[in-house]
Structure 1
Amino acid sequence: MTVPPSEVLLKRACAQVGLSSFGARPIRIGENAIYSLPSRVVVRIGRSGQATAAAKEVAVSRWLESAEVPAVKAFPDIDQPLVIDGSPVTFWRELPEHRHGTPPEVAAVLKRLHASPLPTDFELPALTPFVRLAERIDRAKTLADDDRGWLRHQLAQLTKAFAELPAGLPRCTIHGDAWAGNVVVTADGPVLLDLERFSLGPPEWDLVSTAVRLSTFGTMTAKDYESFAAAYGHDVLKWDGFDVLRDIRELRITCYAAQRASEEQSVRAEAALRVACLRGLRGPRPWPDWKPLS
């Protein structure tokens, strides 16, 4: 039996820091491979060449702990990340039993994060909402030429619009990917997960991740959204720049589906649906037929 490359890296990394990888359980194997060890340590193996990003995640985790913002915690007393054959490996404390956060709980932890002072021992990068989108459009083999051209034009238009966003809330530290799955609740309260996209930017970017559940996907009730906005103290749907950030979010997840469709036939119908919706061919929002991609 061939051992997956991530398991080889896992064993080598654990041995290097004195942890046993025996009995490791895969949590998710994708762009990043994530394993849980019986010792309640989570090991994350990143993509080759992503050591700088992994180092930022560890720095962000330690800063959040000092700022008393609840988030996943990097395992202490290990100089992280390890880099093995080009792939960064980081170690994290496993969370206790938890559930997904409710809209008010998501809002509360985001409000706490956005109010935190900026870190002083490292510099957060500026938000880059268009990272890898051009490459995904160009490399999506299943896109029709007309769809590819439209997506390229939409990307250009949104890039310009993002640079000209109207005034909003003060820029601050943002999570960068603050959808509901990245906030869980333990017995001690809400906890932020996935620190990869932490950056400096408009807090509205984090709020839009919840707002699109109502406006784009129709998977949230108006009452639940109102509870989110009330808990945060701001309704991003009423901001003049909402449509721009909403459209960028929609473009991002559509380009991701198009990339996946090039590799997985089962995703092709979903990718085509998303492109058609963005192009106005499936009626007005919301589009409840969109299916999440694992």
Structure 2
Amino acid sequence: MSEAAETDWLTIVRSAGAAVGLDVDQAEPIQVSENAIYWLPGCVVARVSRPGQLSTARREVNVARWLEASGVPAVQVVPDVDQPVDIDGRAVTFWRELPPHHRGTPTQVAAVLKQLHRLPLPTDFDLGEVAPFVRLEERIEAALASSDKNRRWLRAHLAELQQRWEKLPEGLPWCVIHGDAWVGNVAAMDDGLVVLLDLERTSIGPPEWDLVHTAIKHSSFDWITAEQYVEFCDVYGHDVTEWAGFELLRDIREFRMTTMAMQAASTRPALREQAQHRLACIRGEHGSRPWVGWEALE
């Protein structure tokens, strides 16, 4: 049984909520995996991190408060709460519950990224630089359902990508980036308000790192139409596919998506076929892009 499955998430949430004076008696799980999200009375959502993520959670809280003060629509922390709360090595943070919403469209993603990328850098805390290869080594080692041969190839390909990153061509000026700017991390409310979610990867880096998410949905997977991608570029004002560094960022993104599936397949056999398909694609075994058969992980 995995560490996550053995974790008493409810006890952690109740301990953290009690420490900061929040009502936790009726806490209910929303999502539980390697971390956990719980609903609390009073339109509060509690998030429990993986072990050892206290500094990351503290930075995410700082980012949320800074974005709120800067006027960029993003998920907001519960005010007047000293957080994150450390419970046995897991960071617990508390957020305002969003009203009914759905995933944003590519043009909505473009609009909020354009606003984010124009912000001056924060002066009262350190965002740090983008980390394109964070957790990839751990994902490869955790891909236990895959063969040793496949894991050796993944390690070699990771080393190649890291070398290419050191020679990243010059592009748009580095700025504040979201770090994981796909449509699932942009929530659209019924009244038209669009907010950024999941601020864990917010950092300083090339804005193209955010833009490539949407670009590959068209060029690599055909998940959005050419017309949708043109609209995305028109709203943002830039087409990342015309940049000399596009192929590198594309390859890193596809690699991250592949290793995520391979790690997940180790504990969820239903995902093994999808993981192997992704691996075959990035190894060049299914021809040129766009590839068919890439499916969202449920």
Q: TM-score range by the shorter chain?
A: over 0.9
Counterpart in 1 of 2:292?
288
> Are residues 120 and 279 of structure 1, via their aligned partners in 2, closer, same or farther at CA, if it must alter by over 3 Å?
same
Contact 1:73 1:93 in 2 (8 A): yes
1: CA distance, partners of 2:258 / 2:119: 32
Name which of 243, 250, 261 aligns with 1:246. Answer: 250
Structure 1 position 136, deviation (Å): 2.0
Structure 1 position 159, deviation (Å): 0.6
Contact 2:20 2:82 in 1 (8 A): no
2: CA distance, partners of 1:72 / 1:229: 25
2: CA distance, partners of 1:19 / 1:136: 35
How many residues align structurally? 293
Query: What is the identity, as a one-letter code, of the residue corresponding to 1:137?
Result: I
Query: What is the identity, as a one-letter code, of the residue corresponding to 2:257?
Result: I
RMSD, matched Cα: 1.5
Counterpart in 2 of 1:108?
111
Give the SS at the match of 1:152: helix
Query: What is the identity, as a one-letter code, of the residue corresponding to 2:270?
Result: S
1: CA distance, partners of 2:295 / 2:6: 32
Counterpart in 2 of 1:222?
226
2: CA distance, partners of 1:160 / 1:102: 34
Counterpart in 1 of 2:62?
59
2: CA distance, partners of 1:31 / 1:144: 23
Structure 1 position 99, deviation (Å): 1.9
1: CA distance, partners of 2:262 / 2:121: 36
Name which of 12, 16, 24 aligns with 2:15. Answer: 12
Contact 1:133 1:255 in 2 (8 A): yes
Query: What is the identity, as a one-letter code, of the residue corresponding to 2:264?
Result: R
Counterpart in 1 of 2:183?
180
Following TM superposition, the consecutive aligned residue runs of length 4 or more in structure 1 with deviations greater than 3 angstroms are: none
2: CA distance, partners of 1:196 / 1:135: 18
Counterpart in 2 of 1:40?
43
Give the SS at the match of 1:46: strand
1:208 maps onto 2:212 in alignment? yes
Where do 1:241-280 residues align within 5 Å?
A: 241-280=245-284
Query: What is the identity, as a one-letter code, of the residue corresponding to 1:118?
Result: L
1:237 maps onto 2:241 in alignment? yes
2: CA distance, partners of 1:40 / 1:160: 46
Segment drifting more, 51-60 vs 24-33: 24-33
> Are residues 4 and 20 of structure 1, via their aligned partners in 2, closer, same or farther at CA, if it must alter by over 3 Å?
farther
Query: What is the identity, as a one-letter code, of the residue corresponding to 1:109?
Result: V
Name which of 153, 167, 172 aligns with 2:170. Answer: 167
Name which of 75, 82, 86 aligns with 1:83. Answer: 86
2: CA distance, partners of 1:102 / 1:268: 29
Give the share of equivalent positions with the same residue, in percent: 54
2: CA distance, partners of 1:20 / 1:188: 31
Query: What is the identity, as a one-letter code, of the residue corresponding to 2:24?
Result: S
Query: What is the identity, as a one-letter code, of the residue corresponding to 1:236?
Result: V
Counterpart in 2 of 1:25?
28
Normalized against structure 2, the TM-score is what?
0.95
Normalized against structure 1, the TM-score is what?
0.96
Contact 1:140 1:262 in 2 (8 A): yes
2: CA distance, partners of 1:236 / 1:102: 18
Give the SS at the match of 1:47: strand
> What whole-Å deviation, never above 9, does each CA across 1:164-185 have from its counterpart, x for those lacking one?
1111100000000001000012
2: CA distance, partners of 1:96 / 1:22: 22
Segment drifting more, 219-228 vs 184-193: 184-193
1:137 maps onto 2:171 in alignment? no
Runs of 5+ unmatched residues, structure 2 = none
